[in-house]
Protein backbone atom coordinates (compact mmCIF):
# COMPACT_ATOMS: atom_id res chain seq x y z
CA UNK A 1 0.00 0.00 0.00
CA UNK A 2 1.37 3.39 -0.92
CA UNK A 3 1.53 6.32 1.48
CA UNK A 4 -1.31 8.05 -0.35
CA UNK A 5 -3.48 4.91 0.02
CA UNK A 6 -2.78 4.90 3.77
CA UNK A 7 -3.71 8.57 3.99
CA UNK A 8 -6.98 8.06 2.14
CA UNK A 9 -7.98 5.12 4.32
CA UNK A 10 -7.15 7.07 7.49
CA UNK A 11 -9.27 10.00 6.27
CA UNK A 12 -12.17 7.68 5.51
CA UNK A 13 -11.96 5.85 8.82
CA UNK A 14 -14.68 6.65 11.35
CA UNK A 15 -13.54 9.35 13.75
CA UNK A 16 -13.70 8.50 17.45
CA UNK A 17 -13.27 11.28 20.00
CA UNK A 18 -12.03 10.22 23.42
CA UNK A 19 -12.59 12.72 26.22
CA UNK A 20 -10.55 11.39 29.11
CA UNK A 21 -8.35 13.13 31.68
CA UNK A 22 -6.47 10.05 32.89
CA UNK A 23 -3.40 9.32 30.74
CA UNK A 24 -3.51 5.68 31.86
CA UNK A 25 -7.17 5.27 30.89
CA UNK A 26 -6.58 7.05 27.56
CA UNK A 27 -3.65 4.76 26.79
CA UNK A 28 -5.71 1.70 27.73
CA UNK A 29 -8.60 2.89 25.51
CA UNK A 30 -6.23 3.44 22.58
CA UNK A 31 -4.76 -0.06 23.01
CA UNK A 32 -8.22 -1.64 23.13
CA UNK A 33 -9.34 0.31 20.07
CA UNK A 34 -6.25 -0.83 18.14
CA UNK A 35 -7.20 -4.49 18.76
CA UNK A 36 -10.42 -4.14 16.77
CA UNK A 37 -10.55 -5.46 13.22
CA UNK A 38 -11.90 -2.20 11.75
CA UNK A 39 -9.67 0.87 11.62
CA UNK A 40 -10.77 4.00 13.51
CA UNK A 41 -9.16 7.42 13.66
CA UNK A 42 -8.79 8.47 17.28
CA UNK A 43 -8.69 12.01 18.57
CA UNK A 44 -8.06 12.51 22.29
CA UNK A 45 -8.68 15.53 24.51
CA UNK A 46 -8.20 15.60 28.25
CA UNK A 47 -11.15 17.63 29.45
CA UNK A 48 -14.71 18.58 28.59
CA UNK A 49 -13.90 22.19 27.68
CA UNK A 50 -11.39 20.98 25.08
CA UNK A 51 -14.03 18.62 23.66
CA UNK A 52 -16.63 21.38 23.41
CA UNK A 53 -14.10 23.70 21.76
CA UNK A 54 -12.98 21.06 19.27
CA UNK A 55 -16.51 19.98 18.31
CA UNK A 56 -17.79 23.56 18.15
CA UNK A 57 -14.89 24.64 15.96
CA UNK A 58 -15.31 21.62 13.66
CA UNK A 59 -19.00 22.39 13.28
CA UNK A 60 -18.45 26.08 12.57
CA UNK A 61 -15.79 25.26 9.93
CA UNK A 62 -18.04 22.54 8.49
CA UNK A 63 -15.28 20.04 9.14
CA UNK A 64 -15.88 16.40 9.95
CA UNK A 65 -17.54 15.89 13.33
CA UNK A 66 -16.72 12.80 15.37
CA UNK A 67 -18.73 9.72 14.46
CA UNK A 68 -18.61 8.61 18.09
CA UNK A 69 -17.52 10.15 21.36
CA UNK A 70 -16.42 8.27 24.46
CA UNK A 71 -16.81 10.62 27.39
CA UNK A 72 -15.45 10.35 30.91
CA UNK A 73 -17.80 11.77 33.54
CA UNK A 74 -15.38 12.87 36.23
CA UNK A 75 -13.04 15.47 34.75
CA UNK A 76 -11.67 18.86 35.74
CA UNK A 77 -12.58 22.09 33.92
CA UNK A 78 -15.87 20.75 32.49
CA UNK A 79 -17.25 17.36 33.54
CA UNK A 80 -18.98 14.82 31.33
CA UNK A 81 -22.49 15.79 32.41
CA UNK A 82 -21.79 19.40 31.43
CA UNK A 83 -20.55 18.24 28.02
CA UNK A 84 -23.72 16.17 27.54
CA UNK A 85 -25.85 19.22 28.42
CA UNK A 86 -23.93 21.33 25.89
CA UNK A 87 -24.29 18.72 23.14
CA UNK A 88 -28.07 18.56 23.71
CA UNK A 89 -28.31 22.26 22.84
CA UNK A 90 -26.46 21.86 19.51
CA UNK A 91 -28.10 21.38 16.10
CA UNK A 92 -25.99 18.26 15.46
CA UNK A 93 -26.87 16.56 18.76
CA UNK A 94 -28.90 13.76 17.14
CA UNK A 95 -25.99 12.68 14.94
CA UNK A 96 -23.33 12.50 17.68
CA UNK A 97 -23.31 9.09 19.37
CA UNK A 98 -21.94 9.38 22.90
CA UNK A 99 -20.91 6.55 25.16
CA UNK A 100 -20.05 7.44 28.73
CA UNK A 101 -16.95 5.91 30.30
CA UNK A 102 -17.05 5.93 34.05
CA UNK A 103 -15.64 4.29 37.13
CA UNK A 104 -19.13 4.66 38.62
CA UNK A 105 -21.70 1.93 38.24
CA UNK A 106 -24.33 3.94 40.13
CA UNK A 107 -27.78 3.79 38.60
CA UNK A 108 -28.27 7.52 39.18
CA UNK A 109 -25.26 8.33 36.98
CA UNK A 110 -26.48 5.92 34.30
CA UNK A 111 -29.98 7.43 34.33
CA UNK A 112 -28.71 11.01 34.22
CA UNK A 113 -26.35 10.25 31.33
CA UNK A 114 -29.18 8.60 29.42
CA UNK A 115 -31.53 11.55 30.03
CA UNK A 116 -28.82 13.86 28.70
CA UNK A 117 -28.53 11.92 25.46
CA UNK A 118 -25.80 9.33 26.02
CA UNK A 119 -26.49 6.27 23.91
CA UNK A 120 -24.29 3.97 26.00
CA UNK A 121 -22.55 3.63 29.33
CA UNK A 122 -19.43 1.54 30.01
CA UNK A 123 -17.87 1.00 33.40
CA UNK A 124 -14.07 1.15 33.46
CA UNK A 125 -11.92 -0.72 32.84
CA UNK A 126 -13.27 -1.39 29.37
CA UNK A 127 -12.29 -4.30 27.18
CA UNK A 128 -11.82 -4.54 23.43
CA UNK A 129 -15.03 -6.62 23.41
CA UNK A 130 -16.89 -3.73 25.12
CA UNK A 131 -15.63 -1.30 22.47
CA UNK A 132 -16.33 -3.67 19.61
CA UNK A 133 -19.90 -4.16 20.81
CA UNK A 134 -20.55 -0.42 21.19
CA UNK A 135 -18.92 0.52 17.89
CA UNK A 136 -20.67 -2.26 15.98
CA UNK A 137 -24.05 -0.88 17.09
CA UNK A 138 -23.03 2.47 15.58
CA UNK A 139 -22.19 1.00 12.17
CA UNK A 140 -25.00 2.94 10.50
CA UNK A 141 -23.43 6.19 11.67
CA UNK A 142 -20.16 5.21 9.99
CA UNK A 143 -21.51 4.07 6.62
- Containing structural domain, residue 28: 3-133
What is the number of domains present in the chain? Answer: 1
Please report whether residue 120 resides in a domain: yes
* 132: pLDDT strictly greater than 80: yes
Please report whether residue 138 resides in a domain: no
* 131: pLDDT strictly greater than 70: yes
Query: To the nearest whole percent, how much of the chain has pLDDT over 70?
Result: 88
- Predicted TM-score (pTM) of the model is 0.87
Please report whether residue 142 resides in a domain: no
With vertex at residue 62, the alpha carbon angle to CA 57 and CA 64, rounded to the nearest 5 degrees, is: 85
CATH code where residue 38 lies:
3.40.50.2300
Alpha-carbon gap, residue 26 to 46, rounded angstroms: 9
* 1: pLDDT strictly greater than 60: no
| pLDDT tens, residue by residue, 99-123 | 999 999 999 999 999 999 999 999 9
Amino acid sequence: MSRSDAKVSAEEAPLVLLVEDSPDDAYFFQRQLSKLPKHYSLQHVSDGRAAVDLIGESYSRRAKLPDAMFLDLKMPVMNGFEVLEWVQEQPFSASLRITVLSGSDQQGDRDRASRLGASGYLVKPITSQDLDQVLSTLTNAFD
